[in-house]
Amino acid sequence: MLIARILSLIIGYLFGLFQTGYIYGRSKGIDIRKEGSGNAGTTNSLRVLGWKAGLITFLGDLFKAILAVLLIRLIFGGRYEDNVKVLELYAGFGAVLGHNFPCYLGFKGGKGIACTSGMILAVFPQAAPICLVLFIVAVAATRYVSLGSILVVSAYLIQVIVLGQMGWLKLTGAVQIEFYIVSACFTALALWQHRENIKRLLNGTENKFGMKKTK
């Protein structure tokens, strides 16, 4: 299954290269990576280009991860029926890597939260409700999108481990542990991508949703 893992990661990465925010911005004559926070994701697209751009960027980044997962399910579902879920996870992680580090844009993309959300919906939707509620409550209460994003990836990992131990993953042995490890990679990468946000949150200087972004 090693080759299948590698192929899943590569296919996911190729899907992740579809930079929705960058492409939409270019259609308006703007390089989103040179405006606002310099990020090519949903939040910066919303701040710089408005609600329509933010929604399009979010949906594009969400669905590219979902499509990558569904393609892997189609390709390997019959051959690795019992363990295909872990291959789907690799595809989702590849999509996040492609989104965050697009090779044709100097490896400067987004932070991968919309992509990660797409992976959660496609691979382990049982975790989605709590992740969504935490995000909405956190942003509504504090207006910190970064805090909501951090809670999403943290809640996902906790649920994977707890529900996995309860048998919800329908995986066993080493493959289940591997699923935990790759899931932890999503969370670790998201936290790394938000490291500056975390510093600002701790210092009380983080930008709030609805306010003009400052560098």
Instruction: Quote the pLDDT of residue 147.
Output: 97
Give one DSSP letter per residue of 138-182, joined into a string. HHHHH--HHHHHHHHHHHHHHHHHHHHHTTTT---HHHHHHHHHH
Confidence of residue 213 (pLDDT cuts 50, 70, 90): very low
Instruction: Quote the pLDDT of residue 209.
Output: 81
Q: How many helices (H) and strands (E) does the chain have?
A: 10, 0
Our CA angle for 17, 181, 175, nearest 5°, is 105
Instruction: Quote the pLDDT of residue 67.
Output: 98
Burial of 14 from C-beta contacts in 10 A (0-12 / 13-18 / 19+): middle
Burial of 169 from C-beta contacts in 10 A (0-12 / 13-18 / 19+): buried
210 lies in a domain?
A: no
**63-116 pLDDT, tens per residue?**
999 999 999 999 999 899 889 999 999 999 999 999 999 999 999 999 999 999
**187-196 pLDDT, tens per residue?**
999 999 999 9
Closest C-alpha to 119, from 79, 161, 55, 69 = 69
The better pLDDT of the pair 91, 43 is held by 91
Task: Specify the number of domains making up the chain.
Answer: 1
Tally of CB atoms within 10 A around 71: 17
Instruction: Quote the pLDDT of residue 215.
Output: 42
Q: Which domain holds residue 54?
A: 2-203
213 lies in a domain?
A: no
214 lies in a domain?
A: no
Report the mean per-residue pLDDT for the chain: 94
Instruction: Quote the pLDDT of residue 55.
Output: 95
**Taking 90 as the threshold, does the pLDDT of residue 30 lie above it?**
yes
Report the C-alpha gap between 75 and 11 in whole angstroms: 11
Section 4-11 average pLDDT? 97
Section 108-133 average pLDDT? 97
Section 14-31 average pLDDT? 95
145 lies in a domain?
A: yes
212 lies in a domain?
A: no
209 lies in a domain?
A: no
93 lies in a domain?
A: yes
**Taking 60 as the threshold, does the pLDDT of residue 212 lie above it?**
no
215 lies in a domain?
A: no
